[in-house]
């Protein structure tokens, strides 16, 4: 169906507006470059050694920051591969089937050969009727991108991109290097900031740049450190932001730690096996983004292992031998939020399978 003129113009206009937060950050970074390099280092600093050291260290920080920011913005999110999409004949069958259980039978047959272990709250196969595909584990439909995104974390307005499997490492490095950038400015600007208030600076426009630079860097440091800390915790637990709000549902129930393989393996899943690439924004994440090793049993370290090692249905891709124990209901009260992401839940799921369901909300960042 060809898009109509006015609606496609509206869409283009909306796409332009989405770039405003990126433009805002870029302007602030450009100004901070001018304020730090020209006004602080060149105009204000008198000690030549301090000047050179600050310039070298500053350019190192700003380069890593800009590189990781660029990669987060311009790395396309990955979408499910062809085998998850319904064939033309499958779509026809699905449309012919009456809604409800028989449609699920069709989807179950289609998903039989796919490494799909997560289900909806009602136990149904996760199906996206916008993209007409069986959703791989950890994949969610983003309403802004209007696509299913592999291991979707959230749609981030500050990078105007979906943060998911393809760029999650870049996003983490972007947070880390922007925090480093701000902390470096705070540390080296502090003595001049104090001089500003004690009238120790010459009366030029440089002193105002120095003051505002300190305020801006300190303010961003606070918000970035909390966001970065939260994402470090998510990496350790092997959860996406969406999964932190609603635990993934497996065939036998919800399990917030369903994808956690232990600290070391969780870290390597995002950063890769080779430590020399960990701090560089180059893609080294493990896996294909469609399937993830799982442990069916709850791996919560706070919970003592169950002594009863009966047969747990094994569905681990890596076949981790875990002691069996009953799954624990691990949803938090936050999960009662009706629209944390585009997942039909409860009885609505069956009713809505095969129907267009664009109504969804996206986890927004502060
Ligand atoms: Zn979709
Ligand atoms: Zn998105």
Q: What is the pLDDT of residues 105-140, one digit of tens each?
A: 888 888 888 999 999 998 899 999 899 999 999 999
pLDDT of residue 98: 64
Instruction: Tell me which of 70-79, 103-112, 182-191, 344-353 is least confident.
Output: 344-353
Question: Alpha-carbon distance 286 to 45, whole Å?
Answer: 46
Q: What is the pLDDT of residues 129-170, one digit of tens each?
A: 899 999 999 999 999 999 999 999 999 999 999 999 999 999
User: How remote is the CA of residue 148 from the centroid of ligand 2, in Å?
Assistant: 9
Listed residues: CB within 5 A of ion ligand 2: 142, 144-145, 155, 162
User: How remote is the CA of residue 306 from the centroid of ligand 1, in Å?
Assistant: 38
Residue 184 has pLDDT above 60, yes or no: yes
Active-site residue identified among 156, 162, 182, 295: 156
Distances (CA, A) of 258 to 137, 353, 362: 11, 25, 22
User: How remote is the CA of residue 155 from the centroid of ligand 1, in Å?
Assistant: 14
Contact assessment for residue 266 and residue 260, using Cβ atoms and an 8 Å cutoff: yes
Count how many Cα atoms sit within 13 Å of the Cα of residue 107 in the half-sphere of its side chain. Answer: 27
User: How remote is the CA of residue 149 from the centroid of ligand 1, in Å?
Assistant: 7
**Residue 104 three-state SS:** helix
Ligand nearest to the CA of 148: 1
Q: What is the pLDDT of residues 12-59, one digit of tens each?
A: 898 899 999 999 999 999 999 999 999 999 999 999 999 999 999 999
Write down the mean pLDDT value for the chain. Answer: 81
pLDDT of residue 31: 97
User: How remote is the CA of residue 94 from the centroid of ligand 1, in Å?
Assistant: 16
Neighbours of 99 (CB within 10 A): 13
User: How remote is the CA of residue 139 from the centroid of ligand 1, in Å?
Assistant: 9
Q: What is the pLDDT of residues 236-252, one digit of tens each?
A: 999 999 999 999 999 88
pLDDT of residue 317: 36
User: How remote is the CA of residue 140 from the centroid of ligand 2, in Å?
Assistant: 10
In this prediction the pTM is: 0.79
Residue 179 has pLDDT above 70, yes or no: yes
Residue 295 has pLDDT above 90, yes or no: no
pLDDT of residue 202: 83
Q: Provide the pLDDT confidence category of residue 103 given band limits of 50, 70 and 90.
A: confident
Question: Alpha-carbon distance 75 to 96, whole Å?
Answer: 38
pLDDT of residue 4: 57
| Nearest alpha carbon to residue 65 among 26, 34, 96 | 26
Ligand nearest to the CA of 79: 1
Q: Which residue has the tokens 């937060």?
A: 21
| Nearest alpha carbon to residue 123 among 96, 101, 91 | 101
Contact assessment for residue 258 and residue 296, using Cβ atoms and an 8 Å cutoff: yes
Q: Provide the pLDDT confidence category of residue 94 given band limits of 50, 70 and 90.
A: confident
Residue 174 has pLDDT above 90, yes or no: yes
Ligand nearest to the CA of 357: 1
pLDDT of residue 296: 64
Listed residues: CB within 5 A of ion ligand 1: 128, 130-131, 141, 148
The first and second tokens of residue 314, run together, are 């094994």
Ligand nearest to the CA of 128: 1
Residue 226 has pLDDT above 80, yes or no: yes
- Residue 54 catalytic? no
Residue 335 has pLDDT above 50, yes or no: no
pLDDT of residue 312: 35
Residue 361 has pLDDT above 80, yes or no: no
Ligand nearest to the CA of 80: 1
Q: Provide the pLDDT confidence category of residue 228 given band limits of 50, 70 and 90.
A: very high
pLDDT of residue 303: 32
Ligand nearest to the CA of 136: 1
User: How remote is the CA of residue 79 from the centroid of ligand 2, in Å?
Assistant: 11
Q: Provide the pLDDT confidence category of residue 176 given band limits of 50, 70 and 90.
A: very high
User: How remote is the CA of residue 147 from the centroid of ligand 2, in Å?
Assistant: 7
User: How remote is the CA of residue 85 from the centroid of ligand 1, in Å?
Assistant: 10
- The more confident residue out of 347 and 188 is 188
Question: Alpha-carbon distance 177 to 66, whole Å?
Answer: 9
């Amino acid at each position: 169906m060809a898009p109509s003129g006015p609606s496609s113009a509206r869409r283009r206009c909306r796409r332009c507006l989405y770039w405003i937060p990126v433009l805002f950050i870029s302007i602030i970074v450009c100004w901070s470059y001018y304020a730090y390099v020209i006004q602080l280092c060149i105009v204000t600093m008198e000690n030549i050694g301090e000047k050179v050291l600050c310039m070298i260290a500053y350019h190192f920080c700003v380069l890593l920051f800009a590189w990781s920011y660029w990669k987060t913005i311009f790395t396309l999110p990955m979408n499910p591969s062809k085998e998850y999409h319904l064939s033309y004949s499958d779509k026809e069958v699905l449309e012919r089937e009456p809604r409800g259980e028989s449609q699920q039978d069709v989807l179950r047959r289609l998903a039989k050969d796919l490494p799909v272990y997560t289900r909806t709250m009602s136990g149904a196969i996760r199906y996206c009727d916008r993209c007409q595909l069986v959703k791989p584990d950890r994949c969610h439909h983003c309403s802004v991108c209007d696509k299913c995104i592999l291991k979707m974390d959230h749609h981030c307005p500050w990078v105007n991109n979906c943060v998911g499997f393809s760029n999650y490492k870049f996003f983490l490095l972007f947070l880390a290097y922007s925090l480093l950038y701000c902390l470096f400015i705070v540390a080296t600007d502090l003595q001049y900031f104090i001089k500003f208030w004690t009238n120790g600076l010459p009366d030029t426009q440089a002193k105002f740049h120095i003051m505002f630079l300190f305020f801006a860097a300190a303010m961003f440091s606070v918000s970035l450190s909390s966001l970065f800390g939260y994402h470090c915790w998510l990496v350790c637990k092997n959860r996406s932001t969406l999964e932190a709000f609603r635990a993934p549902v497996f065939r036998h129930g919800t399990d917030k730690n369903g994808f956690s393989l232990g600290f070391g393996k969780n870290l390597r899943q995002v950063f890769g096996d080779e430590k020399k690439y960990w701090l560089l924004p180059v893609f080294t994440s493990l896996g294909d983004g469609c399937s993830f090793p799982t442990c069916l049993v709850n791996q919560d370290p706070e919970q003592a292992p169950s002594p009863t090692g009966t047969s747990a249905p094994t569905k681990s891709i890596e076949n981790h031998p875990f002691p069996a124990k009953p799954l624990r209901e691990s949803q938090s009260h936050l999960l009662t939020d009706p629209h944390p992401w585009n997942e039909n839940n409860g009885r609505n799921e069956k009713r809505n399978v095969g129907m267009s369901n664009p109504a969804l909300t996206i986890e927004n960042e502060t």
